[in-house]
Amino acid sequence: MKRLELWLYIAQRGSALVLAPLVLLHLGVILYAVSGGLSAAEILGRTRSTMLWPAAYGLFVVAAAIHAAIGLRVVVREWTHWRNRTLDFAALGFGLVLLLLGLRAVQAIA
């Protein structure tokens, strides 16, 4: 693809922008959850009461999959000798795995 690196860069920064508020939200949630001593049922009860939570976490998962896959690819390219096409596929694979795992988890709280 023409200017692949630039588009990956844009996707990575874009996904980071999406992640930032979601991570803040998530940090809030864990702080709340761990300090409130909530039980699993209570947590799930809340997350399942509205579609907003699964939607937010769904978005988080998609953004994180894009963001982390691209990020890892860059790190591997720069810090190892692995820099050919196979790396691109590996990164893509990593992103997909992340996405699947993530969606499964989101499904659990939905």
AA letter at 62: V
The nearest distance, CB 45 to ligand HEM, in angstroms, is 26
Binding to another protein in span 14-43, by CB under 8 A: 16-17, 19-20, 23-24, 27, 30-31, 34-35, 39-41, 43
Helices (H), 1-110: 4-36, 40-49, 52-79, 85-109
CA atoms within 13 A on the CB side of 33: 15
**How far, rounded to the nearest angstrom, does the alpha carbon of residue 81 sit from its chain's CA centroid?**
26
Binding to ligand HEM in span 36-65, by CB under 6 A: 64
Asked whether position 19 contacts ligand HEM by CB under 6 A, the answer is yes
Burial 12-33 (b: 16+ CB within 10 A, else e): beebbebbeebeeeeeebeeee
Task: Using the minimum distance from each CB to ligand HEM, give the nearer residue, 54 or 71.
Answer: 71
- Cα-based angle 80, 14, 58 (whole degrees, multiple of 5): 95
Asked whether position 67 contacts ligand HEM by CB under 6 A, the answer is yes
Residue numbers at the binding site for another protein (CB under 8 A): 3-7, 9-10, 13, 16-17, 19-20, 23-24, 27, 30-31, 34-35, 39-41, 43-44, 61, 64, 68, 71-72, 75, 77-79, 97-98, 101-102, 104-105, 107-109
